[in-house]
Amino acid sequence: MIKAGIVGGTGYTGVELLRLLVRHEKVELTAITSRQEAGRAVSDYFPSLRGHTNLRFEAPEQASLSDCDVVFFATPHATAMHQVPALLDAGVRVIDLSADFRLKDAATWQQWYGEPHASPEHLAQAVYGLPEVNRTKLGDARLVACPGCYPTAVQLGFLPLLEEKLVDPGSLIADAKSGVSGAGRTLKLGSIFSEVSDSMAAYSVSGHRHLPEIRQGLAAAAGREIGLVFVPHLVPMNRGIHATLYAKLTRPGADLQQLFESRYRDEPFVDVLPSGEHPQTRSVRGANTCRLAVHRPQGGDTVVVLSVIDNLTKGASGQAVQCLNIMFGLPETTGLGASAVLP
Amino acid sequence: MIKAGIVGGTGYTGVELLRLLVRHEKVELTAITSRQEAGRAVSDYFPSLRGHTNLRFEAPEQASLSDCDVVFFATPHATAMHQVPALLDAGVRVIDLSADFRLKDAATWQQWYGEPHASPEHLAQAVYGLPEVNRTKLGDARLVACPGCYPTAVQLGFLPLLEEKLVDPGSLIADAKSGVSGAGRTLKLGSIFSEVSDSMAAYSVSGHRHLPEIRQGLAAAAGREIGLVFVPHLVPMNRGIHATLYAKLTRPGADLQQLFESRYRDEPFVDVLPSGEHPQTRSVRGANTCRLAVHRPQGGDTVVVLSVIDNLTKGASGQAVQCLNIMFGLPETTGLGASAVLP
Amino acid sequence: MIKAGIVGGTGYTGVELLRLLVRHEKVELTAITSRQEAGRAVSDYFPSLRGHTNLRFEAPEQASLSDCDVVFFATPHATAMHQVPALLDAGVRVIDLSADFRLKDAATWQQWYGEPHASPEHLAQAVYGLPEVNRTKLGDARLVACPGCYPTAVQLGFLPLLEEKLVDPGSLIADAKSGVSGAGRTLKLGSIFSEVSDSMAAYSVSGHRHLPEIRQGLAAAAGREIGLVFVPHLVPMNRGIHATLYAKLTRPGADLQQLFESRYRDEPFVDVLPSGEHPQTRSVRGANTCRLAVHRPQGGDTVVVLSVIDNLTKGASGQAVQCLNIMFGLPETTGLGASAVLP
Amino acid sequence: MIKAGIVGGTGYTGVELLRLLVRHEKVELTAITSRQEAGRAVSDYFPSLRGHTNLRFEAPEQASLSDCDVVFFATPHATAMHQVPALLDAGVRVIDLSADFRLKDAATWQQWYGEPHASPEHLAQAVYGLPEVNRTKLGDARLVACPGCYPTAVQLGFLPLLEEKLVDPGSLIADAKSGVSGAGRTLKLGSIFSEVSDSMAAYSVSGHRHLPEIRQGLAAAAGREIGLVFVPHLVPMNRGIHATLYAKLTRPGADLQQLFESRYRDEPFVDVLPSGEHPQTRSVRGANTCRLAVHRPQGGDTVVVLSVIDNLTKGASGQAVQCLNIMFGLPETTGLGASAVLP
C-alpha cells in the first residue's frame, strides 16, 4: 500500500481527495493535517465520511508526513512552497494541488501572487500534472504541480488545435464558467448563497491568476507565444467548469472532429463527443472526465470547442489521483472508475 | 456473475441503477428495455455513461429478460404487475422499484392507484425490500417490492420508537421534503426549473400515494394501527429527502440516543448521528446511507427525528442493489461503498 | 414627506428597505448609516440601486438621525437597544427590525440573547409590529418592534385557530423552512453556496431565538400558555419562508376555511387560498403578502396550515413599511402594491 | 386610460406583462386570451396575481381585442403573423413579443422558422422595438416587433462599437448565457429542474434563431455586413441573460468607457458601470435595465463587453411596455420604475 498524507484537508479539494482516496485500493491514508481542526476526527468534520475513515486531523508539526510515500498539498497558494523542500529531501514525493509550482518562471509567479517565490529552485524540477501532456515525465516525478481547474479545461480544449497548428495562436479566446466550489471553502461575501444564486457575472476580466498558467501551457503546445483573452464567470452551480473556446482557423478544411478523436483516442479521461453535441457539466459531476465537443458554426472560420470538467475532480483532486497512479506505476484509472452522479 | 436486466431504464431510478450496476463487481448487465429508445446506445442517451457500458436499449418484446437471473423494474406503477408473473414463472427473480407490490391489500392498492391490481395473487409473496426490517426474508425472496423514497426515510426514523412502544402510535406526524428528482424524469409543468427553483411548497396534503405504504410498515412495527399525518413538500434541490418526524413520547425518560444507536448498530447503511446534530441531505448524496438524528426539544414530550436519504439511492436504486446483494448471498455493501459526493 | 433614516443598511433587510422606500411616494430617505461603508454611495454598494438613489452611507455619529421623523434599525440584535432611547427622547419614532424590543420580558431576552437588555424600561412601550394583531396600537406607537420572519409566518397561520380556541394549545408544531437570505448577509461558513445548495437540513432543533417570540404571541392569542415545538430548516432558495403548522382540533366540526377567510377578510396583506390549495413561496417573492391554506388531512383531527411569506418583505422590511404607513396615517398599502416577481 | 389586450398570457412573458401592466397607471387591461384556460380567472392560474386583477382568460374568438387600443402578443412564433393583420385593419396597434415581425426578409424568416411567413407584406411596416435605436419610429408605429432577449443584450453591448466603427465588424463573438425561463413555460425535458440544475451547457452552436435577428441589427448599426459567432448557453438560474461580447479593436486608443457612457447618457434603461466593474444579472432581476461594462483585458486589442438584462423584462415584457409608453406619448419610464429585487 502506498502511504499517503494530505496537508490542508478542510477545503473542497481536500474533501474530494478524501472521497477518492478512502476508496483507492492501493492507497492507505496515514496522515492529514489542519492546524485549526487538530485532534478532530475527519468524519466528524465531514459527516459524509462517517463510516469511511477513522483518520483524525493533526497539527502540521505533529504529523509524520515524512513517513509517507507521497504527500498531497490541498492548501491555498504560498503554503506548499515553504514545506515541500523538506519533504522532498526526506524522500517523500509530493503532489501539490495549489498554484505554487505550476509556473516555470519565478518572476511571473511573483507578479501574479504578490510575493517572492520561496523555493524557486524547485520550479524547474516540478512536473506539470496534466497527464495528457506529461504522462512520461510524471512516471519519475518527485514533485508534481497539479493544474488549476480552468487551465485543465482550457488546455485540453485547445491542445489539438495548437499542436497541429490549425489555428492562429494570437486569436485565442476562452470564455469560462465555473461553479462556486471553485472559489474554495472560505469566507468571502461573494460566495454566500444569496449573493450568487439565481445570478451570474464575469469576474477578474482584467487578469485572473490562471491566465499565465494557461498561456504557459498553450505556448508549449504551439511552440510559440500565444495571445489569449480569458474571461472567467461565476455560475450558480456547485461543481463544474464549462469552457467555451474560440479560435480562428488557419486551415478551415481540416477535419476537426477526426483531429480531436485521434488526439484523445487513448486517453482514459478525455471523451470527445460525436459531432454536433454539447456536453453538460453534470455529465462529469464527480467523475475524472473531460468531455469535449468541437464545432464550426455556420461553416465559418472560427472553431468553437466546448470543454467541461468537474472542477474538483479532473480540475483538482481526481487529476491528482491520476498523477499518483502514474507516479506509482498503477493502472491510471485505479480509484477513478466511477461515472458521474446524475442527476 | 449475476445476469441482470432492467425494464424501463430511461428515468432517474433507471440511470441511478445503471450508475451502480455498471460498477458492481458481481453483476453483468445483459438487457435493458425501452420501447421509445429501442436500438439506441445507453451511453448515447445518458452521456454520463459514455465509456462505462456498451449496452443498448431493446424493445420490451425483443429483450431476453427470461435469461436473466434477476430483473429490475424501474417503471411507473401499473407496469410491473402485468409483466412480473411471466418472469417469475420463468424462474427469474424480480426487484420492483415501482409501487406495484408494496401494499399487501389489493383493495387499498386499487383505492390509491385508481385501477384494479393485475396480479393480486403475488402481493402476499412479495417481500418488502427494506433490509433493516426484512433482511432474512429477502434472502429467499423471488419478488421484492422496493420501498418508496418517502417510506424509506419515514420508516427508518420511526421504527425504533414504535418497536419499543415509546410513543403514542396515534400521534405521528411526518413532515417530509423532497428534491425534484423524486417527481421523476417526466414532462410535468410542475417539474420545470422555473416553476420550482427559488421556491417551495407542500403538495398532496389531502393524501399522497406513499401514505398507505408508510402506514402499513409502521403498523407492522407497532403491532397495531397507527395514526399518521404525512405532508410532503417539494424543495428546489436535485436529490435528497429530509423527513422531520414528530411523535408524543409515552415514556419521556427513555434514552432515545441509545435506543437509536442500539437499533441500528449493525446496519451498514443507517448512521445515527451524535446527540444534538442535524443531518444534511448532501451528506448522503449519491450514497446508500440513511442518516438519523433524534432530538427532544426543550426536554418536552415530543420527540423529533431527522431522517435524510438520497431519494434515488437509499430511496430507490441503491436500496434495490442492497436487496440484490442479500438475495444472492453477497456482502451487503457490494457495489455500494462510495461515500457521498460533497459538495 | 416623511423624513426617514436607516441604521445599518448593508444587510439584506437593509437593501430590501431601500428597494421599497426609494419608491415610496410619501417617504424621503434622508440618512443611512454604516460605519464600514461611510462615505460610499449606496448605489455603488448595491448596484441594483444605481439610478434610484443618491444617498451615501454615513458614519453613525455623523448622521443627523435626530432630524428624521422615523428611523429604521436594520441591525443585528443588541444594537438598537443602545441607540433607541436617545432617538425617542429626540422625538424620533423608531421601527426596529431587529430582535431588541420584541420580547416583553427582559429576563427572557437575556436568556436567549446572552446579555442583559440595555433598555428594559422601553420593552413595555414597544408595540409588536404585527398589524394583523396590533393595528390600533401601531397608530400611536413611538417604538415598533417588527416581528421576526418565522414569527410572522407562524403566528398568522395559528392565530385564527387559537383566538377561536379550536385547537389544543399544548399541541402546536411549527415545521418551518427558510431561504438562505434569512441567515443574513454575513460571513458564515454555513451560508456559503457550496454548503447549502442542493441540500437541506434542520437546525437549532434544541431551541431557536424565534421560539420565545412565537410563544409570546401565540399565548396572547390563546389567552393562556401554549406548548410549541418549533423546528426550523434551511432550504436552498434565496427568499421565502414556508411554515407547515400542525395542531390537534378540539372541535373537528368547525368550518376552518370559513374561519380563516373571515379572520383575514379585511387584511390587505393576508391571502387565504381556496380550499385544497398549496401556496408556493414564489407566489409572494418580493411581495408583502402572507398566503395561507388550511387543510384537514383525511378528515382527521389534525389541522395543517400552510403559511408562506417572503422573509425579507412581509417577514421584515415590507412589514416595517406597513407599520410606517399605519403610524403615519397613510393608506396601509402605500408603496407595497407590487405583486410577486414570478418566476 | 389605454385599453390593452394580451394574446397568449399563460407563459412567462405573459405573466411578466401582467405583473407590469396591472400596476401601470395609464393602462387598463381589458382582455386576455388563452384557448386552454378560457373562463378561468387569471389570478387563479397565477396565484401571485391574487388581489391584483379580476381579469379572466377568454377564448381567442370571444375576446373583443378589436376594442383595444393596443394588443400584445405573448405567443410562440407563427401565431401573431396570422392574427395581426385583422387587428391592424381594425385600427388596433400591436406590440408583438414573438419573433414574427423581427426579420425584414421573409425568406430569412422562412429559413429559420421552417414555414412561409403568413403576412410578409407587414414586415416592412413593423418597427423593431429597441428604443435605444428606433425611439423616433416607435412614436408612430402601428406594429412593433419586440426584440428577442439575446438580441437585446447583444445589440446594446455592440452598438457603440459598431456605430463608431471602432471594431472589425467581421470579428464579433457573442458568448451568451441565459436563465431557464428563456426557454419558456412549456413542457420540454431539457427544462426539467433535474436536467438543468447544478449543470450548464451550450446549445444550438450550429445556429440559433436569434442569430439572423442579431446580425440584422448589428449590420444596420455598422452600415455593412458583419461576421458574428453566437454561442448561447443555458445556466441554472431563473431569470437573466449575461452576454460576454468580444471584438477586435481597429482603433485601440479610443476611450471606450467614455464612448459607452456618452452613447447611453440619456437612455433611461441602459446603465454603463464604472470602469473595471462586472455586472451581475441579479442587479437587473425584475427591472427593465440593461447594465453594461466595457473592458480591454491586459490592454490588448480585444474589447470585452459585459451586458446583462433580465430576459423577461428588458428582454421581453418590460421592453414591450417601454415601447407602449413611447407609442402613446407617455413618459418612457411609466410603470417601469422599480429597481431589481435583490437578493
Low-confidence ranges of chain C (pLDDT < 70): none
pLDDT tens figures, B155-190:
999 999 999 999 999 999 999 999 999 999 999 999
B274 to chain C, any CB pair closer than 8 A? The answer is no
A291 to chain B, any CB pair closer than 8 A? The answer is yes
Search chain B and give the residue with CA nearest A279.
B47
Those of residues 159-188 in D touching chain A at CB distance below 8 A are 173, 175, 177, 179
Distance from CA of B44 to the nearest CA of A (A): 9
Interface touch A23/B339, C-beta < 8 Å? yes
pLDDT tens figures, A57-104:
999 888 889 999 999 999 999 999 999 999 999 999 999 999 999 999
C-beta neighbour count of A170 within 10 angstroms:
15
φ/ψ bin of D198: left (φ > 0), alpha (ψ from -120 to 50), beta (otherwise): left
Q: How many residues does chain C have?
A: 343
B338 to chain A, any CB pair closer than 8 A? The answer is yes
- Which one of B202, B227, B237 has the shortest CB-CB distance to C199? B237
pLDDT tens figures, B48-96:
999 999 999 999 888 889 999 999 999 999 999 999 999 999 999 999 9
pLDDT surpasses 90 at D328: yes
- Under 8 Å between Cβ of A260 and A244: no
For D31-42, what is the mean pLDDT?
Answer: 96
> With 0-12 CB in 10 A as exposed, 13-18 as middle and 19+ as buried, what is C142?
middle
Query: Which of D68, D149, D290, D323 is an active site residue?
Result: D149
What pLDDT, on the 0 to 100 scale, is given for residue D267? Answer: 98
- Which of B70, A296, B197 lies closest to C236, judged by CA? B197
Q: Residue C212: what are its φ and ψ, rounded to 5°?
A: -65, -30
D189 to chain B, any CB pair closer than 8 A? The answer is yes
Search chain A and give the residue with CA nearest C46.
A195
Low-confidence ranges of chain A (pLDDT < 50): none
Chain centroid to Cα C84, Å, comes to 19
Average model confidence (pLDDT) across chain C: 97
Report CA-CA distances (Å) from B9 to A270, B17, B59, B233, B288: 26, 8, 12, 26, 19
* CA dist., res. B292 & res. B306, Å (int): 6
Provide the terminal-to-terminal Cα distance of chain B, rounded to the nearest Å: 34
Residues facing residue C282 across a β-bridge: none
- Which one of B49, B282, B338 has the shortest CB-CB distance to A23? B338
Which amino acid would we find at residue A189?
L
B196 to chain D, any CB pair closer than 8 A? The answer is yes
Which of A229, A239, A246 should we substitute to test contact with D (largest number of D Cβ atoms within 10 Å)? A229
Cell of D232: 448561447
For B223-252, what is the mean pLDDT?
Answer: 97
Distance from CA of C285 to the nearest CA of A (A): 13
Interface touch B205/C343, C-beta < 8 Å? no
Pairs across C and D, CB distance < 8 A: 88
Cell of D117: 411567413
- Which one of A229, A240, A246 has the shortest CB-CB distance to D297? A229
Q: Which ranges constitute the DSSP H helices of D69-148?
A: 80-89, 106-113, 131-140
C205 to chain B, any CB pair closer than 8 A? The answer is yes
- Under 8 Å between Cβ of D226 and D215: yes
- Report whether the peptide linkage leading into residue D343 is cis, meaning its omega lies within 30 degrees of zero: yes
Interface touch C229/B302, C-beta < 8 Å? yes
Active site residues of B: 149
* CA dist., res. A322 & res. A317, Å (int): 9
Rounded to 5°, angle at Cα D342 from A240 and D181: 55
Provide the terminal-to-terminal Cα distance of chain D, rounded to the nearest Å: 34
What pLDDT, on the 0 to 100 scale, is given for residue D130? Answer: 98
Distinct helix (H) and strand (E) counts, chain B? 10, 14
Rg (CA), chain B: 19
SS3 category, B127 = strand
Search chain D and give the residue with CA nearest B198.
D238
Cell of B34: 425501452
Active site residues of C: 149
- Under 8 Å between Cβ of A157 and A307: yes
Q: What is the DSSP letter of C340?
A: P
What pLDDT, on the 0 to 100 scale, is given for residue D61? Answer: 87
What pLDDT, on the 0 to 100 scale, is given for residue D189? Answer: 94
Search chain B and give the residue with CA nearest C193.
B343
pLDDT surpasses 90 at D154: yes
What pLDDT, on the 0 to 100 scale, is given for residue C61? Answer: 86
* CA dist., res. D185 & res. D17, Å (int): 14
Those of residues 84-123 in A touching chain D at CB distance below 8 A are none
Cβ neighbours for C68, distance < 8 A, ≥ 6 positions apart: C3, C4, C5, C30, C31, C92
Residues facing residue A63 across a β-bridge: none
Beta strands in chain A (DSSP E): 2-7, 27-33, 57-58, 70-73, 93-96, 127-128, 143-145, 172-178, 201-202, 228-234, 241-248, 270-272, 290-295, 302-309
- Under 8 Å between Cβ of B72 and B17: yes
pLDDT surpasses 90 at B252: no
User: Which run of H or E residues covers position C282?
Assistant: none
Search chain D and give the residue with CA nearest A300.
D229
Those of residues 241-260 in D touching chain A at CB distance below 8 A are 242, 244, 246
User: Which run of H or E residues covers position B334?
Assistant: none
Residues of chain C contacting B229 with CB distance shorter than 8 Å? 246, 297, 300, 302, 304
What pLDDT, on the 0 to 100 scale, is given for residue A252? Answer: 82
Provide the terminal-to-terminal Cα distance of chain C, rounded to the nearest Å: 34
Search chain A and give the residue with CA nearest B281.
A48
User: Which run of H or E residues covers position D79?
Assistant: none
DSSP for A315-341, written as a single string: IIIHHHHHHHHHHTT--TTTT--PPP-
- Under 8 Å between Cβ of C332 and C144: no
Residues of chain B contacting A280 with CB distance shorter than 8 Å? 47
- Which one of C199, C202, C235 has the shortest CB-CB distance to B282? C199
What pLDDT, on the 0 to 100 scale, is given for residue D252? Answer: 83
* CA dist., res. B268 & res. A40, Å (int): 23
DSSP for B298-314, written as a single string: GG-SEEEEEEEE-TTII
Cβ neighbours for A196, distance < 8 A, ≥ 6 positions apart: A180, A190, A234, A236, C193
Residues of chain B contacting A199 with CB distance shorter than 8 Å? none
For B306-319, what is the mean pLDDT?
Answer: 98
* CA dist., res. B251 & res. B258, Å (int): 14
What pLDDT, on the 0 to 100 scale, is given for residue A56? Answer: 97
Residues of chain B contacting A22 with CB distance shorter than 8 Å? 339
